Structure 1
Amino acid sequence: MLISVHPKLPMRNKAVTQQYYNDKLGFTDLGSADYPEYLMVEKDNIELHFFLFPELNPEENYGQVYIRVNRIDDFYQTLLDNKVRIHPNGLLENKPWGQREFSLLDPDNNLLTFGETLPEE
C-alpha cells in the first residue's frame, strides 16, 4: 500500500534553495544530518527533496510538483505578503477542472503548482 511521495528536484545551489524554501515558503529543514549535495525540507505533511545539479540550465528544467492545499486564498496571501513572485501565467484562479490554483517558479525554475478542490455546485 502506498502511503506518501517525496519528489526529488534539482538545485544548483543548496544555500539559495534552502533560503528560498525556508524563508519565503515557510518550510523547515528535515533531519539533523547535513549532506552537502542533498536537501530535505518539510511543511505540514509535505516533504520535498533536492539533489545538487550545478550544471542545471534553469531554462531547460522541467521539474514540476503539484501540491494540494487547504485554505488556498490564505496561503496565497501569505506568499504575497512575503514578496514571493507568483508565475505571471499562474495567478490564483478557478480552473475548469474544478481546482483553484496558482503557480510559482523556485530559483531553479522548478514549477510548484498549488491547488485546492472547488466545492461542487
Structure 2
Amino acid sequence: MPLIPYTLAPFIQARPWLSKLFKPLAGWYHGAAGYRQMGLRADDLISEENETVLQALRRLPPKEAYDRIYRIRRATQLSLQQKILPRAEWTKPEEDVPYLSPVLEQLDAELKERAALDTLAPLKKH
C-alpha cells in the first residue's frame, strides 16, 4: 500500500501553467511547516511505525542513518527547549533532498512484484 494514496502532484506537474501557479504556494508551505527551522529534512518527518519504513531505514547507508538520527534528536531537544536553530543552521531548500522516499518507492515496487509473483497460477496443458 502506498504511503500517500491520493496525490495531485502528477496532475499538477503535467501542466506547466498549474505548476507555476503552485510553486510559490509550495515554497510558502515548506517555510510555514517549520521543520527546516529545526534542521530537519522532509523525509525525517516520515513516521517509523510502518514495517516498510523500518525496512527502508535498514537499507540506508550508515552515514545517512546517523545523520537522520542526529537531526531528529537535535530537533527533539530544540522542541523541548521551545527554541529554533539560528537562521544560518536552518535546512536550505537545496539541502532538503529526499533520501528515504526513493528507498520506500523501491521497496513498494519490490512488494508489488513479490505479490504478483506469489499469485501466479500455473498454466495447465490439455
How does the TM-score come out when normalised to structure 1? 0.24
Query: Which structure ranks higher in relative contact order (CA pairs < 8 Å, sequence separation ≥ 6)?
Result: 2
Going by fraction, where is strand more abundant, 1 or 2? 1
> Which structure has the bigger radius of gyration?
2
How does the TM-score come out when normalised to structure 2? 0.23
